[in-house]
Chain A
Amino acid sequence: MKEATTFAVSVRGVTKRFGATIALNDVSFDIESGACFGLIGPNGAGKTTAFSIIAGFLHPDEGMALVLDHDARATDMLQARLSVLPQDALLPAHETVGEFLVHLAKLQGIAGGKAEHEARLALKEVDGADWWTRRCGKLSHGMAKRVGLAQAFLGNPEVVLLDEPTAGLDPRIAFEIRTLIKKRKGGCTLIISSHNLHELEEICDAAAIMDHGHVVAAGSMEELTAAAKEIRIVVASTPLPMDAIRAIPGISRADFDKKERVLSVHFEDFQGEAEDMIAQVLRVLLDANVKISALAKGKGLERRVMELTD
């Protein structure tokens, strides 16, 4: 009987150098099967290098990357099980979209007639059914990105790597691509690298935050953003009943930033769910006739990344 894979991807002590530059320095993290995992970090953090090592495009100088229990470069074992949307790879300009997708489908072992069927299906999924006969070189940036996404989802691979899937796209197309990715969630392991932290916070279950070639934090999105331990409330009116808030059982700290008009409430030792704490704090605020503008669980991924990276 085949042993169940706990981790879809395991990166173990990977170091990668480009000349004198150390792009990755002893990086390790695991990605659970079926998860939607984000790789986060500023430019030069090592996200794309980590990504390329997981895809088997780059050789690590030390350590190794395992995908579905196989070395990331074991193409034979990972054929049709691992796919990627590379950020900066151009589509072959002279091929039509149909030819390109059918070619890739055949390369990953889908037989003749079925290859075209699968390719058409993948293209339809990205709303590109009409582009079948268009040359890849004639596609707009948004269309090319969707074709890239279609090839990544071709044949339903088990692990899909998406490198900056919405970079350079207008908000409407970016939204549509996010919707497409969300539709795939749960059906495969998704690994997304992006600068768009709101996007990652919205889509991903877990993430690794990278900086200067190191993983500086990794875990579930809830852990990373302290969503179960902190709430932030933007208020429109003061004064605030700070003593009453601090008196709520389970609250360890409550601060008010007058400039930002943000009330931060911390409850690290609270045993209940964050929603219960939100209800209690809101009740106190509303009883004191405080006007509330916004509320968020946790400190937000953006703030967390700013704290952890230079």
Chain B
Amino acid sequence: MRKNLRSAKGIVMGALFLLGGGAASLVYMAIKALGDRLREGREVPEEQLRALREEVWKGVWNADVGAYLSHSPLIFIALFKATLWFIPFLTLMIGFEQIAGDLQHRTIRYTAIRARRSSLVAGKALAIWAVVAILLLALHLFVWLVTLLRGDATLMETLSWGPRMWAFSAVFTAAYAGMTILASSLTRRPILSLFVGMIMFSSLWVLDVSVDVVHALDNEKYRWFEYVGFAIPDWYEVWLVSPKPAEVVGAIVNLLAFGVGTTALASYIVNRRDV
């Protein structure tokens, strides 16, 4: 983990995350300023703003979630949603060479003779997860600070919604850390692993969009396809932000299971292969 954070790639990623946090804050500030100008000094009742937030989150997820999240500061939920978009890419960038790089240069020979290969793979998956979670925390902290300084949310709101959204992002990352380590274990060439990971993640994204489209079509004939969603980590984001605790727990369990399952598969592959 320390190696990742200290490497040129880790530093660049860290800088990108902070820039991302800065950009997110700037975009939010710009939207807020535009809204203020459009209102031309007129005070908008909080209830109207809440209704607007509800409509937005209902559109993104569903009515229950919309109603639940309408009471939260917009910036934290928007940041969470934005974070989910780039977590797969960032996790892949951080981790694609973790196993493939060691196989390519045979550095794994120094470690494989001393520790079980499954332990090495699990350690690397955890390291990827921890690094991305720490970088996410840096990004989220930046936004919390700006939000507090600008007075866009109270301290209580920030402490209530901010860490929660970061924790959900971190849980979401677990699934992608596992899939990244799986992609990395499939080839001896980091660049190929990167392509494999990109193909894997793109396929999941296409599947997720397809499930959404089928859901929107509301056609009984294709209803079965919606069950494919259960096999896609992205599908569980709606459960993560659900007002129902059982769904939140279900999302956490499933996303962690994705991470553990794919890491176990990577361990099996590395265990079977010649190094």
Interface residues of A (CB under 8 A from B): 52, 55-59, 75-76, 78-80, 82-84, 86, 88-92, 94-95, 100, 104, 107-108, 151
Known: A75-B116, A107-B111. A90 touches B274 (CB 8 A): no
Complex CA distance for A79 and B112, rounded to whole angstroms: 10
- CA of A59 to CA of B271, assembled, Å: 10
Contact of A82 among B113, B115, B117, B274 (CB under 8 A): B113
Which residues of B approach A to under 8 Å, CB–CB?
A: 3, 6-7, 105-117, 272, 274-275
Report yes or no: A57 in contact with B274, Cβ–Cβ below 8 A.
yes
Given the known interface contacts A58-B274, A59-B274, A76-B116, the answer about A94 and B110 at a Cβ–Cβ threshold of 8 Å is no
Report chain A residues within 8 Å CB of B106.
86, 88-90
What residues on B are CB-neighbors of A83 within 8 Å?
Answer: 113-114
Q: Is the CB of B111 within 8 A of A104?
A: yes
CB-nearest residue of chain B to A100: B110
A95 to B111, Cβ gap below 8 A? Answer: no
- Bound form: Cα–Cα A76–B108 in Å: 16
Chain A positions within 8 Å of B112 at CB level: 56-57, 75
Are the CB atoms of B114 and A86 closer together than 8 Å?
A: no
CB of B78 to closest CB in A, whole Å: 36
Task: State A89–B106 Cα separation when bound (angstroms).
Answer: 5
Main secondary structure of the interface of A (DSSP, over half): loop
Q: Please determine whether A75 and B113 come into contact, CB atoms closer than 8 angstroms.
A: yes
List A contacts of B3 (CB < 8 A): 92, 94-95
B274 contacts which chain A residues (CB < 8 A)?
Answer: 52, 57-59
**Chain A: minimal CB distance from B7 (Å):** 6
Within the complex, the shortest CB–CB distance from B115 to chain A, in Å, comes to 5
Given contacts A94-B3, A94-B6, A95-B3, are A55 and B113 in contact (CB under 8 A)? yes
Cα–Cα distance between A128 and B11 once the two chains are bound (Å): 30
Q: Can you sample 11 A-B contacts with CB below 8 Å?
A: A52-B274, A59-B274, A75-B116, A76-B116, A83-B114, A84-B113, A88-B106, A89-B106, A94-B6, A104-B110, A107-B115
- State whether A86 and B109 are in contact (beta carbons under 8 Å apart), knowing that A94-B6, A94-B7 are contacts in the complex: yes
Interface centre among A75, A80, A104, A108 (most CB of B within 10 A): A75
**Structural contact, A80 and B107, CB atoms closer than 8 A:** no
Distance between Cα atoms of A250 and B3 in the complex (Å): 68
If A58-B274, A94-B7 touch, does A79 touch B109 (CB 8 Å cutoff)? no
The CA-CA distance from A92 to B3 in the complex, in Å, is 10
Bound Cα distance A75, B267 (Å): 14
- B18 CB, nearest partner CB in chain A, Å: 22
Q: B7 touching A90 by the CB < 8 A rule?
A: no
Contact A89 B115 (CB under 8 A): no
- Write out the residue numbers on chain B whose beta carbons fall within 8 Å of the beta carbon of A100: 110
Which residues of the partner chain B approach A55 to less than 8 Å between Cβ atoms?
A: 109, 113
Q: Which residues of B contact A92 (CB under 8 A)?
A: 3, 107
Name the distance in Å between A120's Cβ and chain B's nearest Cβ: 18
In angstroms, Cα B106 to Cα A95, docked, is: 15
Tell me the complex Cα distance, A76–B117, Å: 10
Within 8 Å CB of B111, what residues of A? 104, 107
Q: Out of B108, B110, B114, which one reaches A79, CB within 8 Å?
A: B114
B107 close to A107 (CB less than 8 A): no
Instruction: Give the shortest distance, in Å, between A131 (CB) and chain B (any CB).
Output: 16
Chain A residues positioned under 8 Å from B109 (CB to CB): 55, 57, 84, 86, 89
